[in-house]
C-alpha cells in the first residue's frame, strides 16, 4: 500500500495559497480608462503597485511551504 505524497494538510495549504494568489490578482483589477486618449493615474495607486504583488508573493510562499514541507509523522520516522 503506497501513501499519497501530499497529505490532507498539504492539500489544504495548496488550496489556501491558490486563493491568496487569486485575491492578489483581483486586487490588480481595474485602473483602466474607457477613453484611450485619457491617462488614468489610478493605475499606479498603492493597491495595484504594492499590495497586490505582496499578496501574490505571500500566496507563492504558502504554495512552497505546502509542497516542500515535511509532515510531522514523517519527520519522526526519519529521525529528525
Given pLDDT bands bounded at 50, 70 and 90, which one contains residue 2?
low
* φ and ψ of 42, to 5 deg: -65, -20
All three cell numbers of 15, joined, read 488550496
All three cell numbers of 1, joined, read 500500500
Q: What is the pLDDT of residues 24-43, one digit of tens each?
A: 999 999 877 788 888 888 88
Confidence (pLDDT) at 52: 96
Confidence (pLDDT) at 48: 92
The residues spanned by each domain of the chain are 14-78
CA distance 64 to 35: 41
CA 15, 17, 52, 57 torsion: positive or negative?
A: negative
Which residue has 495548496 as its cell numbers?
A: 14
Amino acid at each position: 500500500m503506497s501513501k499519497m505524497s501530499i497529505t490532507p494538510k498539504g492539500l489544504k495549504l495548496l488550496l489556501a495559497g491558490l486563493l491568496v494568489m487569486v485575491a492578489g490578482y483581483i486586487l490588480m483589477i481595474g485602473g483602466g480608462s474607457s477613453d484611450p486618449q485619457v491617462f488614468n493615474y489610478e493605475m499606479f495607486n498603492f493597491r495595484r503597485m504594492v499590495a497586490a504583488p505582496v499578496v501574490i508573493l505571500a500566496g507563492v510562499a504558502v504554495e512552497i511551504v505546502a509542497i516542500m514541507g515535511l509532515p510531522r509523522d514523517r519527520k519522526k520516522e526519519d529521525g529528525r
